[in-house]
Chain A
Amino acid sequence: MTQSPQEIPFGTQEAFHAAFAELYPRLVSYARRYGANFPEDIAQEAFVILMQREVPVEHPTAFLYGTVRTLSLTERRPMKNQNISLEAVAEPGQAAYAEDMVLNQEVRERMRLLSPTFREALWLFVVEGLSIREISEILAIPEATVKTRIHRAKAQLKEQLNPAGGVHVLV
């Protein structure tokens, strides 16, 4: 079940170009959100690593996102903080630029108020449109944990919109 890189890795040339055109900007944006200094290089390296593999991956999109995440965190290794979350590394000059491209100010503020752990899963699920299984592969956590984080993010969002909701006040 091995696939030589000399073979056409993505079916046809046109399919590969279309997939690259769809995913490359998203991966650059994703790397930039992690505060990568060279997000374009990281996204391109992720593609090269994917095409270099002899054994095809089951979920290439998840593989690319996971590789970009790992490379972005590795680029920041001198900070000695590999467990940082998506928003924890947001720098005003870089990550905010990525947010501005996708989200408006109100949405960005709602995302900022979420817990960083939940925010990362929520971003991948809603904004990037990835599936639960893909997110579990990217973050290297079980699918049940991804669902839990997303549901807790949803609860926090509801709490933001209706702070007094569900609270019984004795008169």
Chain B
Amino acid sequence: MSWSDPARRFEPAEDVQLRAELRDLLGLGAPVAVQTVEPTPELKALADDLRREALRRSRTQRQRPSWGLLAAAALPLLAALAGLGNWGIQQKHRADELTVQAQRQEQELTRLAASHATEVARERQAKEEVQQKLQLASRKSSPKTEPYLVIPVEKPLKGVSDDYQRVKQKP
């Protein structure tokens, strides 16, 4: 770092002329040649004190964390995020597999239900055919008979036994 400012050292001529014109307008007169100021002992001591203060601050100042430190600090978080993402992906795969499995089971159950219904219908039809054949056969084989007259028979009255004594006369 240098105190000599290149922007001022290579100042354009028009700027120098403009400054001179403005000095004339203000009544400041011609610019005084820059003289090297001889630093007094007090100024030297003050400058050294300020430099020591800057050094002290730069040593005691909390340093900004570097990128490596930030990366190290963020590593656990990144690992946790990666693990969470991996777990999520595994859960998704598992859910997809379960979905496919459930769909297969559903299709299998549908297929079984359909075959069972077909079987039942076939058996029912066969049973009806057998019943029809039996009815036809029974009609052809058995002669016509009169219907039976059914007379209901009462139960025989229980006989009154004589081995008891009437103890009270009727009025």
Contacts and interface: CB of A to CB of B under 8 A. Distances in A.
- State the main secondary structure of chain A at its contact with B: helix
A44 B36 CA distance: 21
Contact of A57 (B1, B15, B39, B57): B1
Interface stretch (B40-48, B70-78, B97-105, B147-155): B40-48
Contacts of B50: 20, 44, 47-48, 51
B8 interface: yes
B58 A154 contact: no
B31 A129 contact: yes
B146 interface: no
A59 B11 CA distance: 13
Interface residues of B, number: 35
B27 A21 contact: no
- State the main secondary structure of chain B at its contact with A: helix
A48 B54 contact: yes
Contacts of A134: 5, 7-8
A5 B58 contact: yes
A37 B8 CA distance: 30
A5 B5 contact: no
B2 A107 contact: no
A17 B25 contact: no
A124 to B, nearest CB: 11
B2 A11 contact: yes
A15 B1 CA distance: 11
Nearest to A151: B18
A20 B3 CA distance: 9
B52 to A, nearest CB: 10
A135 to B, nearest CB: 10
A48 B19 contact: no
6 contacts: A16-B51, A18-B3, A51-B51, A62-B5, A62-B7, A125-B22
Interface of A: 3-6, 9-11, 15-24, 44, 47-48, 51-52, 54, 56-57, 59-62, 103-104, 106-107, 110-111, 122, 125-127, 129-134, 150-151, 153-154, 157-158, 161
Interface of B: 1-3, 5, 7-8, 11, 15, 18-19, 21-23, 25-28, 31, 36-40, 43-44, 46-47, 50-51, 53-55, 57-58, 61
Closest 10 CB pairs of A and B: A21-B39, A51-B54, A19-B3, A20-B47, A5-B58, A56-B1, A157-B25, A133-B7, A17-B39, A21-B37
Given A47-B54, A57-B1, 12 more contacts: A11-B1, A18-B3, A20-B43, A21-B37, A22-B37, A24-B47, A52-B54, A59-B5, A62-B7, A134-B8, A150-B18, A157-B26
